[in-house]
Amino acid sequence: MALALGGALVVGCGDDGGATDGATTTTGSTTDSATTTASTSEGSTEPTTGAPTGGDTTDSTTGSEIDPRVAHCLRINACEADGGAPMGLQACLAHALEVPWTWASTGTMRMAIEAMECKLAAPDCETVRACTPPAAPHADACADKPGESLCAGDEWVVCGFEGEPVAALDCAAAGQQCGAEIWAGCGLEPCEYGVTASTCDPNDPDVLIECNPDGFLERVDCRTQNNFVLINGKDGEKRFTIAGETCGFDPMRNANACVGTGEPCDFFSQECDGDVLETCAGGKLSRRDCATVEPLGQGCGYLQAGPFAGGASCGLVNTQCGLDAPESCEGATISFCDWDQPGTIDCVAAGYSGCATTDYAGRTVAYCTP
């Protein structure tokens, strides 16, 4: 079975094997060195106000309802077309598939996820564009911190390994502030990394609350979030997804974390049991039914590319197109990959002025113009 997770291909089902003795592990520390193009508030489907000239959720030509997530992405791209950088529909849609990896993400991937959340929540076009300010003005600051991240006021800046500014996110536009205890990030509730203990939310036992290296508390929904572990042993490197079910004590971390609720397990493991993703999470087996995961209901397979390659995951099944495919315009009609199959939208019928294309991240993308 082939699956699509964002722009990455997920292939095959079955047991990925166990780890060997004498292995060393690293968890939750994967960094994507290339800027990733997608992100948003988890599970958000409510329309956001402040659309430019368009923003209808119904195509007046066909009378059909536009997927709310597609409507969000139409609005964001139209906002970016006026002084920003349109990313096209598919990079925006792919965010919903990347959100489950927020807990395991750092660097530019984490920033891209949070940047899209900022844009999706933005009440107007000015705020959409404010979420991702130009990184170039931070060249001097990055020259002193190659390969690191920093705060410039409330702007979170990621620096490349040559000391060049790679990307920036305005935490204030997202209603947060920038902090940099170990590395930089956005948040609201300060904490002391390595000192503040992880807890389970007393009002929602499936939510983990832990202190991030940026010095802010993070809420992790264990029912939807994945973590990731690299195992280096005598048989080479192995990679495992950790997809828990609830918050509880994890003996492997000696702290609260996302754990399973099934039979005991004594090391990392992952497999696909049909559409069910089964992993060892905190010493207990966890089973996540991918068929119930939005968008669309998904299947289980293995990531073949990206920072979490080798990890088992929920993803889209039997796709007829990829979210990394080129997009196009024919007159005012935009053609794109609508999650798992080709789709079109008449931009004028949706309330915009027309359709246009541009280059984004090395491929042609299309968007409705304001």
Contacts 24+ apart (CB under 8 A), 326-334: 326/363, 326/364, 326/365, 327/88, 327/89, 327/90, 327/357, 327/364, 327/365, 327/366, 328/357, 328/364, 328/366, 329/355, 329/356, 329/357, 329/366, 330/355, 331/355, 334/89, 334/366, 334/367, 334/368
Strand 199-200, strand 165-170: pairing? unpaired
Q: 119 in helix, strand or coil?
A: helix
Tokens 């076009």, residue located: 125
CB atoms within 10 A of CB 338: 19
Q: 171 in helix, strand or coil?
A: helix
**pLDDT value for 321:** 94
How far CA 124 is from CA of 59, 75, 161, 266, 315, in Å, comes to: 22, 10, 35, 50, 32
pTM attached to this predicted model: 0.85
pLDDT 10s digits, 90-135: 999 999 999 999 999 999 999 999 999 999 999 999 999 999 999 9
What is the enclosing helix (H) or strand (E) of 32? Answer: strand 30-32
**pLDDT value for 235:** 83
- Secondary structure letter of residue 172 according to DSSP: G
In contact, 258 and 201? CB cutoff 8 Å: no
CA–CA distance, 336 with 324 (Å, rounded to integer): 10
CA–CA distance, 327 with 357 (Å, rounded to integer): 8
**pLDDT value for 36:** 31
**pLDDT value for 233:** 82
pLDDT 10s digits, 148-169: 999 999 999 999 999 999 999 9
**pLDDT value for 57:** 57
Residues of the chain with pLDDT under 70: 1-64
